[in-house]
Chains A and B, each alone.
Chain A
């Protein structure tokens, strides 16, 4: 099995987000960047498939040189190879751009593949666009938001989370899968893994290696502004015994908020 996992470097979920109104961007200074949590499930799943079916796990990140840190982590978890597709463009929230880059990387550099795995969304951009767009560009089937995956020969069965239910989807390989929390429990890096990852070289592919020019990659979304969430009104604390407080709360929800 030739397994490819696409990973992104994102601010950890503890981060307080500061906005630079001048640049229409998030202030990156002071943020702690990590492997996007959903991508971790994708890496783990690829490793598990390799462990039962054999094959090779290659981890690819499209991003700045700083993304090497998360690629090292994936190697330490047990991935065989890691590759950086160097892209220094600021976050545009346009999934089309990254999808084009990934599709070209696959077409030009890795023509043999069985599964392309992603996180169901990157934490931050929260787009949920790239897996489906890549699937479209490569004319592959897709199963998104997957919590269970079984591969048998050149077919697979995945359970995909939808509103209040799971869809059981049958698909043929090669395919695009995006991982949801619940798919597995990602392993920690081992000391041996960390030592091996340190020695491993991570090749860097540039956009011009892929024959991609800035023109065709230009973001098709124009950011007009980035705002902080609207501030909420101060809380009304109902100070009373539980019985009375519950009664007052029910009344407020009914007559003041009018939501009951």
Chain B
């Protein structure tokens, strides 16, 4: 059986968890087994209907009022107690911030190896085979597991969602006993960055600027584009971040984030090897740069050799027309 951890953030089921669930369902079908979902939280019944359309057989709700604040220690304890009872063959998480924090703790407690941030899964002789980028995407390693259960986190934005179907799943609610003193860390506040609801790792379109942006004020041009393009986020090259033009949360590349959106727009980015590693698995890449020799054109699908300050305003108008239609 494949068990998929479902994350709820700000009252919503995270899309990347549904992606992991969809991929889990595809593998479960091949392995002739079922896929089950697990929530950890408080009063989670309302979310069950959001995952049942993905072909789930059972939905486990692990409940305790302490779970309304995330703590890796308490969440891991809850998940491990369920795993000990139902013995899943595979446990999947989204490689979200929470998934990356929690999955290693769960795997360690289960004595199982973890494959992080996978971009591909397959079934091979009834077992899971996964592939994941190393060196931020300069190479890809493919693994099978010797330990059990097989635990993996799946990169957001890579795995397609299943077409939801009407299906009833069995909902199993369990009250989990957690001694309060095992929780030695807790989230006390969430501080939001203004205008950055969507992270570059989760966006369908990443609009990035580099040294060619010439200054922090010009990132407003990218924000204007982002206001037009749905599900987009602002990215940046390391040189723009190191110059202090934009916060490092936006940095794409080997010492920033690795992204694989449907569309990556690179403005004034030359394409250092570290940057290319972080974005070259994007589905479509557009580069606008003055220098025709810039390495970014080697990975781009479409390129404009020219001045980004002349291109962006026109591009904005053209895209506005298309999108409003």
Contact = CB atoms under 8 A, between A and B. Distances in A.
B315 A142 contact: no
A13 B117 CA distance: 19
Contacts of B285: 232
A199 to B, nearest CB: 32
A162 B97 contact: yes
A169 interface: yes
B185 A247 contact: no
Contact of A13 (B109, B190, B255, B317): B255
A143 B185 CA distance: 8
B145 A253 contact: no
A247 B314 contact: yes
A93 B141 CA distance: 9
A226 B312 CA distance: 39
A161 B249 contact: yes
Contacts of A221: 113, 115, 143-146
Interface in B93-133: 96-98, 100-105, 107-109, 111-117, 129, 131, 133
B301 A99 contact: no
Given A171-B185, A222-B143, A259 B284 contact: yes
A128 B138 CA distance: 17
A7 B201 CA distance: 26
B304 interface: yes
Given A136-B105, A252-B302, A168 B188 contact: yes
B190 A235 contact: no
Contacts of A144: 100-101
Q: Which of the four size classes fits the interface of chain B? A: 35 or more
Contacts of A60: none
Contacts of A251: 318, 322
Given A145-B97, A254-B322, A126 B135 contact: yes
Contact of B193 (A96, A129, A165, A246): A165
A260 B280 contact: no
A158 to B, nearest CB: 9
B281 A95 contact: no
Given A136-B108, A237-B297, A17 B139 contact: yes
A170 B183 CA distance: 11
Interface in B171-213: 184-193, 196-199, 201-202, 205
A193 interface: no
Nearest to B141: A226
A168 B190 contact: yes
Given A142-B185, A232-B280, A137 B108 contact: yes
A166 B114 CA distance: 26
A137 to B, nearest CB: 6
A227 B140 contact: yes
A223 B255 contact: no
B152 to A, nearest CB: 10
Given A133-B105, A170-B188, A260-B323, A246 B314 contact: yes
Nearest to A24: B141
B137 interface: yes
A96 B298 CA distance: 37
B113 A96 contact: yes
Given A163-B97, A221-B113, A249-B304, A99 B108 contact: yes
Given A13-B254, A14-B273, A224-B142, A129 B323 contact: no
B111 to A, nearest CB: 8
Among all A-B residue pairs, the 7 with the closest Cβ atoms: A220-B113, A246-B314, A250-B318, A141-B185, A163-B199, A171-B185, A242-B310
Given A15-B138, A229-B280, A237-B305, 13 more contacts: A13-B273, A99-B104, A132-B72, A132-B104, A132-B108, A133-B107, A163-B198, A164-B192, A224-B142, A226-B140, A245-B304, A249-B286, A259-B262
